[in-house]
Amino acid sequence: MNRKVTLLVTFVLLLSSILSACGPKQTPAPTAQPTQEATTAPTEEATAAPTEEATAAPTEEPAKPVTIQVYYPVAVDAPIADILNGYIKDFEAKNPNITVEPVFAGGYGDVRTAIQTTIDGGGEPPAMAVMLATDLYDLINAEYIIPLDSYVAADEDGKAYLDDFIPAFMENSYYDGKLWSIPFQRSCVLMYYNADLFKDAGLEPPNSWEAWGKAAQALTVRDGDNVTRWGIEYPSGWPYWLFQPLAIGNGQNIIGDSDTEVYFDNPKVIEAVQFYIDLSKKYQAMPEGVQAIWGQAPTDFASGQTAMIVHSSGSLRGILKQADFEVGVMPIPGSKPDTYATVPGGGNLYIFANVDKAKQDAAWKFIRFLSEPERTADFSIQSGYFASRKSAYETDAMKAYLADNPQVAQARDALKYAGAEFSVQDLGEVRNIFHDYLQKAYNGEMTPAAAMAAAQKEADAALAPFK
């Protein structure tokens, strides 16, 4: 209705009102049939005179400001801090009442130690953190974290959301019928090899322990007593994860189906320990003893100081950017020809207990934000970690990235050779026991058999209260 018509109608109504007030009451003429919108009779409440409070335009109470801390490990060869800071900026733009303060630590162990130190000192833990998926039992037993089922149930798409995660990455998310964490920064153990060096030496990628040892030996370069290029570097400062594929590839994982079973002293596990030692002692293709070079190994590989490394798939992006040669990736060769193995790893997103409910709610919002398909695809592309959701691989960005970087698809395909990652009750204690004796074997302080026997005995004692 234009302005002239509006003024005319207003004038007519006003005149009619005045005449009605001055003249006698008359029976109103029948009106036209009301439209469908007008057929509903107004309620008594609706026809009552509005109060002053009701006449004001309804306003939604603004959400109260809340600040959450997020602890995050950055011990891979990828710009994790820069990536996460970018996500935080985008999240805060969509949620102006929530401020996210990241706290970056060196590795998963550093994150856990920092949080535990805070809690033990009477401080408040962060609202959320990325911690090892295998830390689940210890975190529950310590009552550090909360289950997430109520949040999923409250989300309209909760079931579809969970169903979209890659099943292998959800195995460490549940315990006692409850959901405790969401997969995000997931990986597996890979062997990286300099394909150009292999080609120049007439070597094929190794398909067994023997072929692996001989290839490493052939690619080691010495200048007198000085090694100018190792055949392989194999970090063992945090040894269980990178060791597991050796045991799995020899037919025996170090854990069983139960959360209280370990097989440290199994003959096949002992043989796997011996093979690690053989790479340096027998083949002389690897530095002797424990190699505390986790952060250094990708750089050594990319710069040509070693022909092969065993490392996380999370370092793939950085290695591809640094290397000026063709990078090969594959699962870990097994003991027998044409056998391979790997193990999944990486971190999940946890929400902590003993923080304000508002902070926990904000943390869940941030978890949902981080785990959107487009963002998990972007995180995978930028970091080298696997995208944890199936739908992420259907995004245009991920399809294009896989086409341009076939190593990413090869890394993902290695998961078909994966065994279960080391996760048992009292994991911190049992893992420390295994680490201690495994490193004693690596350093020649004990024989592999004696070290694994001692590890088994102490681990059984630590697990006895949980059986």
104-121 residue pLDDT tens: 988 888 999 999 999 999
Mean pLDDT of the chain: 87
Structural contact between residues 73 and 115, judged by C-beta atoms closer than 8 angstroms: no
Pick one of 3.40.50.300, 3.40.190.10, 1.10.3720.10, 1.10.1660.10 as the CATH number of 189-343+423-466. 3.40.190.10
The arithmetic mean of pLDDT across residues 376-394, rounded, is: 92
Q: Rounded to whole angstroms, how far apart are CA atoms 293 and 234? A: 8
Confidence bin at 55 (pLDDT 50/70/90): very low
Which residues contact residue 402 at a Cβ distance below 8 angstroms, ignoring those fewer than 6 apart?
Answer: 393, 408, 409
Pairing of strands 98-105, 66-73: parallel
Kindly give the residue spans of alpha helices, DSSP state H, lying in 263-340: 267-281, 297-302, 316-322
In the 8-state DSSP scheme, what is residue 238?
S
CATH superfamily, domain 66-186+345-417, is Periplasmic binding protein-like II (3.40.190.10)
| CA dist., res. 433 & res. 431, Å (int) | 5
The pair of structure tokens assigned to 381 is 């592309």
Measure CA 47 to chain center: 57
Domains of the chain, by residue range, sit at 66-186+345-417, 189-343+423-466
pLDDT tens per residue across span 7-38:
333 333 333 443 333 343 333 333 333 333 33
State residue 308's pLDDT score: 98
Give ∠ CA 305-310-315 in degrees, rounded to 5. Answer: 85
- What is the rounded distance in angstroms from the CA atom of residue 445 to the CA atom of residue 377? 45
pTM as predicted? 0.77
Spatial distance between the Cα atoms of 242 and 259, rounded to a whole number of angstroms: 20
Q: Please, what's the largest Cα pairwise distance for the chain?
A: 124
Residue 388 confidence class, pLDDT cut points 50, 70, 90 = very high
pLDDT greater than 50 at residue 291: yes
Calculate mean pLDDT across residues 348-374.
97
* Residue carrying structure tokens 């005045």: 18
User: For residue 35, with 0-12 CB atoms within 10 Å meaning exposed, 13-18 middle and 19 or more buried, which class applies?
Assistant: exposed
Q: Where does the pLDDT of residue 79 fall: very low under 50, low under 70, confident under 90, or very high at 90 and above?
A: confident
- Are both 66-186+345-417 and 189-343+423-466 of the same fold? yes
Which of 43-53 are b and which e, b meaning 16 or more Cβ less than 10 Å from the residue's Cβ?
Answer: eeeeeeeeeee
Contacts of 450 (CB under 8 A, 6+ apart): none
